[in-house]
Structure 1
Amino acid sequence: MMQDPIGIPACFSSSEKPTDDPAAVTRSGQSVFMSVYRTKIAGHCRLITITWCKNLLLHGLSVSVQRPEGDTQYSCKVELKPWYFWRKQGSKRFIVEGKAVDVFWDLKAAKFNGETEPQSDFYVAIVSEEEVVLLLGDLKKDAYRKTGSRPALIESILVSKKEYIFGKKKFRTRAKFHEKGSFHEITIECNNNRSSSGISNNSSLGGFDPEMEIKIDGRLAIHVKHLQWKFRGNESIYVNKVRVEVYWDVHDWLFSPGLRHALFIFKPISSSTSPSSTSASSSLTSTPFSSKTASSTLVEGYNAGGSSGFCLFLYAWKVE
Structure 2
Amino acid sequence: MNHPSGGGVPFVSKLSSVEKHIDNKGAQSSVAFIYQAKIAELLRNVTATWSKNLINHSFSITVENMKDDQNHYTCKIDLKAWQFWGKKGLKNLEVDGRRVDVFWDFRQAKFSSSPDPCSDYYVALVCEEEVVLLLGDLKNDALKRTRKKPSPAEATLLYKKEHVYGKKLFYTRAVLDESQKEHDVVIESSLSGPDDPEMWITVDGTMEIRIMNLNWRFRGNETITVNDVPVQILWDVHDWLFNSSGSSHGLFVFQPGPLDSEPNKHKNYSNNNTINEKKSKDLSQSALECYHILYAWKIE
Per the TM superposition, whether the score is higher than 0.5 is yes
CA distance, structure 2, for counterparts of residue 133 and residue 279 of structure 1:
35
Paired residues in the alignment total 280
1:251: which partner in 2? 238
Separation in 1, partners of 2:88, 2:273: 35
2-structure distance, mates of 1:238, 1:160: 20
CA RMSD after TM alignment: 2.7
**Counterparts of residues 1-320 of structure 1 (less than 5 Å):** 6-7=18-19, 22-26=23-27, 30-68=28-66, 71-72=69-70, 73-177=72-176, 180-192=179-191, 209-257=196-244, 258-269=246-257, 283-284=265-266, 293=270, 295-308=272-285, 309-320=289-300
Q: Displacement, 1:105?
A: 0.1
Distance 1:225 1:142 in 2: 50
Question: Which range is displaced more, 237-246 or 113-122?
Answer: 113-122
Q: Closer, same or farther in 2 for the Cα pair 1:295/1:264, shift >3 Å?
A: farther
Cα contact 1:232–1:251 (8 A) shared by 2: yes
Query: In the superposition, relative to structure 1, how do residues 168 and 149 fare at CA in structure 2: closer, same or farther (>3 Å)?
Result: same
Identity of aligned residues (%): 44
Question: Judging changes above 3 Å, is the alpha-carbon distance between structure 1 residues 58 and 280 closer, same or farther for their aligned structure 2 residues?
Answer: farther
Q: Which runs of 5+ in 1 are unaligned?
A: 9-19, 196-207
Taking the aligned partners of 1:310 and 1:178, their CA distance within structure 2 comes to 10
Deviation at 1:114, TM superposition (A): 4.1
Deviation (angstroms), 1:127: 1.0
Distance 1:66 1:109, change over 3 A: same
SS at match of 2:161: strand
In structure 2, stretches of 5+ residues that fail to align are 1-14
> Could you say what secondary structure the match of 1:7 adopts?
coil
Q: Could you list the per-position Cα deviations for residues 244-266 of structure 1 after superposition, in whole angstroms to 9, with x for gaps in the alignment?
A: 01111112112212111111010
TM-score, normalization: structure 2? 0.83
Structure 1, 41-50 or 174-183: larger mean CA deviation: 174-183
Kindly provide the CA deviation profile for residues 118-157 of structure 1, in whole angstroms up to 9, marking residues without a partner as x. 1222110011112110001122222122222221010011
Q: What's the CA shift string for 1:38-96, capped at 9, x where partnerless?
A: 11111111110101112334420100111347824211101122222110000111122
Q: Normalised by the size of structure 1, how large is the TM-score?
A: 0.79
Residue aligned with 1:247, SS: strand
Residues 180 and 35 of structure 1: is their aligned pair in 2 closer, same or farther, counting only changes over 3 Å? farther
Please state how far the C-alpha of 1:302 moved relative to its aligned partner: 1.3
Q: 1:68 to 1:147 in 2, by over 3 A?
A: same
1: CA distance between counterparts of 2:271 and 2:220? 11
Secondary structure at 2:277 match in 1 = helix
Counterpart contact for 2:176–2:226, Cα < 8 Å: no
Cα shift readout 1:235-281 (whole Å, capped 9, x = no counterpart) = 111111110011111121122121111110101017xx9xxxx5889
